[in-house]
Structure 1
Amino acid sequence: MNHSTPPVLQQKHKARKRFGQNFLHDHGVINRIIASVYPKSGDHVVEIGPGQGALTGQLLDGAGELDVIELDRDLIPWLKLHFGINRQFRVHEADALTFDFESLKQDERPLRIVGNLPYNISTPLIFHLLSFAGTVRDMHFMLQKEVVERLCATHGDNHYGRLSVMVQYYCRAEYLFQVGSGAFRPAPKVDSAIVRLTPWDELPHPCKDVALLESIVKDAFAMRRKTLRNSLKKHISADELTALDVDPSIRPEHLPLESFVRIADYLVQQRS
């Protein structure tokens, strides 16, 4: 059964600023996203913020099973009416920022998460989702283009920061393609992009204390214009950084993930 967005829903439902809603309507972009996700029979797909169902029908058709997380209660009856004929379609009225994605697991299959994420919650939501990385096969998100650039940036890049380091600790991040503002109603003031995040089967740089790593990375980039000697002085001395083969005179955007892990592991060792 091929699904399409119900026209009544498009006319009646007005995008709400408080939910950061911008509804995708460009069929070329929709098809390109579906091709990137490539949902197959047997996949357990989860869609965050299905909105007016632009991606929902094709995700459900491809996988045959779909959980959707939707906060706007006015959209839920329409989603149930349009897609609920399939018993493998389940709607959860919930805030994705606090939702327990582990609760969706029914068997050994990992989750495949897809979403057109509101710009105002994208960063905290990604940090929340990282805590479920062990139960996720991949994540495909539409985000503000600048956020995708930050997710995928490597050290030495101006976009490289806390988000880059912590996401890449858990996942491989791939910038797939850009989406212009005209693909949405209402059109946002910024361009978007699609990113694929794939949790590592084995962490390339496992850390002994991830909470400490997060604290170090956060402090390093809180004052990104300062050198590591100054931004990390409450954690470690300049001489200790030098001993760890880290130049204390550089700024944090020049330090690769593995060096942040080395600093954290050293501090764990010192404390024990």
Structure 2
Amino acid sequence: MKSKMNTKFLVTTALCISIAVVLRSFSIMITAGGVLTMRISFGAIFYVLPGLLFGPLYGAIAGGMVDILGTIVMPMGAYIPVFTLTNILAGFLPAVIWKKIRNIPIENLKKYYVIFFSLLTLVGVFNTIVILTMHNSYLGKMLMLMGKKAQYVGVGLILSGVIGFTLLIINNIINKHNNNNYSYVYNNFFKLVISVGISGVIVSTINTYFILMFTPALAAKGFMILWIPRIVETLIMTIINSYAISVLMYSYSAFEGRVPKKI
């Protein structure tokens, strides 16, 4: 029975890997100095999903294989093995964090969710005001050193907050007027934002160090110049990906005949 289950897990993981590689091929890629510095893609949904469903090992396998196969299918510069390792971590970490927090009451997590995105929005508004009206101040000059990327710490953070609260409102409305099954999506969304978000920030930070290590021209501009826009992109994609993963997890449970009860 265990062998049969493992086979099913591997087949499902292989399917997720295939979908992730295809989605990765349609990525929006941003380069600097001839080096890929940011990849905007929905591929992460499908290499994170196996780890959440079957355990961290499957997430690690999916993350590593997606990077290797994605490089073969659509190479972008030289292959750097260290990024395969960080992609393995990107598939592994969310599952580990998920196992730790999935049984925590949703109301406790929702409070932290609201506080986090409120602070994020306020920081974005403050930075935008500084950029527009106080650019001669010390903080304004610091932000202006980022050039066009200064918008990431202004409009970018505001956008992250707006998306976060929009999904919260939509979730609350649907959950209030829907049956108990939707509560599975509703509850898991917040927990996935934390699991995927913490992992994303860690992996993005590590990748930023490696990008600077391999690109001296970028390193000369400083860590924050590259790290901030990458983190903002990570936050935005975390919100979207977490919702999609939550829906897919419910769909998988329903397909397996294990329709979740209200938590």
Give the TM-score normalised by structure 1: 0.24
Greater RCO, 1 or 2 (C-alpha within 8 Å, sep 6+): 2
**Which structure has the larger Rg?**
1
Higher strand share: 1
Give the TM-score normalised by structure 2: 0.25
Higher helix share: 2
